Each structure stands twice: as structure tokens, then as C-alpha cells.
Amino acid sequence: MIDVILNTIVSGILIGGFYAACAIGLSISFGMLRIPNIAHPGFIIAGGFLTYYFNKTFGLDPLLAGLLIIPIFFAFGFLLYRGYNRFFESKRDEREGQMSALVLFFGVLMIIEALLSVTFGVDFRTVTTPWSSIVLHFGSVGICLRMAVPFLCSVLMVCILYLYFSKTYLGLVIQAVAQDSMAATLIGSDPRFAKSIAFGISFSTAAYAGTLFVCLVPVEPSLGMQFLGRVFSIAILGGLGSPLGTAVAGLIVGITESLTTAYIGSSWTLAVSFILLLIIIAVKPTGLFRR
């Protein structure tokens, strides 16, 4: 009995870490930069497909291939922000800008799906590695590397981002610009540069989350659209803009889902985690970790 609870919780933790990796970039773009990038899950899937491509073509380990695509995504995010700033942010007031940005990013999401379908086809793709099927046993708890490796990478990603934002100078500037762009400008920070970097980072996390995704389960181009709700809810639950909050929110959702599946029934999984989300948002509107 206790074995089942333990195993269930461990499963929840492992998948929760992966959820955090998916949501953290959105937490940065939506929470810090106030850019409603609903195309984020689309970029995750794109990262997954690129990882798949590098793995199949060059035989690279997916975790390594993921590192290689990060600079591409970073540059793309960096430039995309420049364009976004030029055509949306600087031209409209914030609210109006966000509404038109929603439409823009919805379009981007569709375009990504179309591009992926055209380039890679519409089949489910996954990357299997020598370590994928290894299962480690700790007493009665079995941990499969297919789940555990993405979890560890997610933890690492969260730690790096946390340290980056709280310890490095540019990280501090990004935080400052996110909170009060005008005040930050007047003490010498270039908000456009800082936000471009932050958006680049957001995209980089999407790329690597995609890498982890394609290691975990098969993905296909339209998955991004379908994954949108969960990614958004975790980012909001964590308190937008907080890497640690996102991690904790991911774990909460993961563990809740896992326990619900095991003890209430898998048909209740989504309902229970969304009810939980509603309760937390009702009690603490800024999410778990916002200050």
C-alpha cells in the first residue's frame, strides 16, 4: 500500500519537474515581460522536433542536441522581441498592445504547427536513447530514467535561471526592467536590450523543454495547441515571473495529477488539478510565489 503511494508521489514529482520546465519560459515572457506569448508551447514542440531531427540525422544524444538548438532559439527570441517591441509594444498602450499581441502569437502558434507539419510530417515522433528504458530501483520505488533524466534537467534549468536572475548583473537588470521599465531606464538600463535577452532566455527554455518532451513521450505538431492550457495554468499558479514558484507549481500539479490518477481515477485527473488551480488563485491571486 505504502509502496503504491510512494511510487505515485515519485511519478508526480518527476512529471511535475518536466511541467515546470515547460512553464518557466512562459513565466518569464508573460510574467516578467508582460508579453502574452501563447505560442510558447508551439516553440516547445518545435524544440522537440529539432532535437528529434538532430538525433536521427547525426545520432546525437538528445540532451546534447537540445543544448545545440538553444542558441538558435535564443537568437530567434532575441530578434522576435526586437520586432515585437518595434511593431507592438512601442506603438500602442499596454492593454491594447497585449490584445493585438494575443492575436499575433496565436497566429505564430498556427504557423509553427503548419511549418512542423510540412517539414517533419504529422507522425508522432520520439527519441529513444540507450538510457530511456533503464529502471532504477530504490527499495520498492522504481524510477525510470525516461522520466528521471528530464526531471533532473528541469531541476538544473530552474536552478540556473534562479541563480541567473538573482545573482548576475544582467539578471538583476531584467528583474528591474520587468518591474519598472521607466525607473530602470533612468538609472542606465537599456530596457529593450534587457527584454530581448529575457525573451531569448524564455525561448531557450522552450527549446530545451521540447528536448525533454520528445524524450518523454511521442510528440506531433499539433500538440502545442493542446498543451497550452496546462502550461499557462502552471505559470500562473507559480506566480508569474518566479522560477522557484513555477517549479513548485509544476510539482504540485504533477503530484496532484498522479495521486488523482491512482486513487480517484484517471478520468478525474484534469478536473482535480484545475479545481486546485482555481482554489489557489482564489485564495492567492498573485500565485504562489510573487512578491
Partner 1 sequence: MALLEMKKISKSFGFPALQNVDLSIDAGDRIGLIGPNGSGKTTLTNIITGLIACDDGQVIFENRDITKLSAHRRSRLGIARTFQIPQPFYSLIVRQNLYIPLRCRLKSEEAMFTEAGRLLDLVGLSDKADGLPSDLTQIEQRELELARALALSPRLLILDEVLAGLTSQEIDGALEILRVICESGVTVIMIEHIMKAVMGFCNKIVVLNSGMKIAEGMPEDIFRNPEVERAYLGE
Partner 2 sequence: MSMKRFGLMLIILVVVASFSMAGGKAEGQEGSDTEPIRIGASLALTGNLGSAGKSILLAWQICLEDWNAKGGVLGRPVELVYYDDHSNASEVPGLYTKLITVDKVDFIQSPYGTPAITAAMPIAMEHGMVYPGNAALAANKEFNYKYYFSFWPLGPRQVEGIADLFFEAAMSSGEKNLTVAILSEDNEYGARVSEGALESVKKYGLKVVYNDRYPPSPATVDFTPVVRAVQNTGADLFFVGSFPQGTISIIKACKEVGYKPKLFGGAMTGVAYAANLTELGPLLNGVCACCYYVPEPTIQFGNVEDFLETYQSRAAVEGVDPLGYYNPPWAYSSMDTLLKAIEATGSLDQTVVGDYILANGWDSVVGKGAWDPAGSGEIAESRGFLVQWRGIESNDLSEFMVPGKQVIIAPEEYQSGPMLWPSPLFED
Which chain residues interact with partner 2 by CB under 8 A?
4, 7-8, 11-12, 14-15, 18, 79-80, 82-83, 86-87, 107-108, 110-111, 113-115, 117-118, 121-126, 128, 133, 135, 142, 144, 146-147, 216-218, 220-223, 226-227, 230, 254, 257-259, 261-263, 265-267, 269-270
Residue 95 in the binding site for partner 1 (CB under 8 A): no
Binding to partner 1 by residue 3, rule CB under 8 A? no
- What separation in angstroms does the CA of 178 have from each of 39, 99, 206? 20, 19, 20
Selection from partner 2, partner 1, none that 275 binds (CB < 5 to 8 A by kind) is none
Report the alpha-carbon distance of residue 209 to residue 44 in Å, rounded. 6
- Is residue 252 a contact point for partner 1 (CB under 8 A)? no
Query: Least distance from C-beta 71 to partner 1, angstroms?
Result: 25
Q: C-alpha distances in angstroms, 154 versus 43, 44, 85, 160? A: 17, 14, 30, 10
286, containing H or E segment? none
Buried-exposed string 71-90: b where 16+ CB fall within 10 A, e elsewhere: eebbebbbebbeebbeebbe
Give least dist CB 199 to partner 1, A. Answer: 18
Q: How far is CA 242 from the centre of its chain?
A: 12
User: What gap in Å lies between CA 63 and CA 3, rounded to an integer?
Assistant: 31
Per partner kind, with CB cut-offs from 5 to 8 A, the member of partner 1, partner 2, none near residue 278 is none
Least Å distance, CB 12 to partner 2, is: 7
Beta strand extents in 116-190 (DSSP E only): 135-138, 141-144
Asked if 2 touches partner 1 (CB under 8 A), the answer is: no
Radius of gyration of the chain (CA): 19
Nearest distance in Å: CB 83, partner 1: 18
Minimum CB separation of residue 193 from partner 1 in Å reads: 9
Nearer Cβ to partner 1 (65/194): 194
Residue closer to partner 1 by CB (options 129, 185) is 185
CA atoms in the 13 A half-sphere facing the CB of 206: 33
Cell of 89: 509594444
SS3 263: helix
Size of the site for partner 1 (CB under 8 A): 18
CB of 174 to partner 1, least distance (A): 10
Q: Which of 137, 138, 169, 267 binds partner 1 (CB under 8 A)?
A: 169
Contacts (CB under 8 A) with partner 1, residues 174-233? 175-176, 179-180, 182-191
Given 161, 173, 198, 252, the residue binding partner 1 (CB under 8 A): 173
SS3 content of the chain, % helix, strand, coil (to 5): 75, 5, 20
Decide whether 55 or 181 has the Cβ nearer to partner 1: 181
Instruction: Considering the complex, state which of residue 108 and residue 170 has its C-beta at the smaller distance from partner 2.
Output: 108
Task: Name the helix (H) or strand (E) containing 221.
Answer: none
- How far apart CA 46 and CA 85 sit, in angstroms, is 23
Binding site for partner 1 (CB under 8 A): 169, 172-173, 175-176, 179-180, 182-191, 291
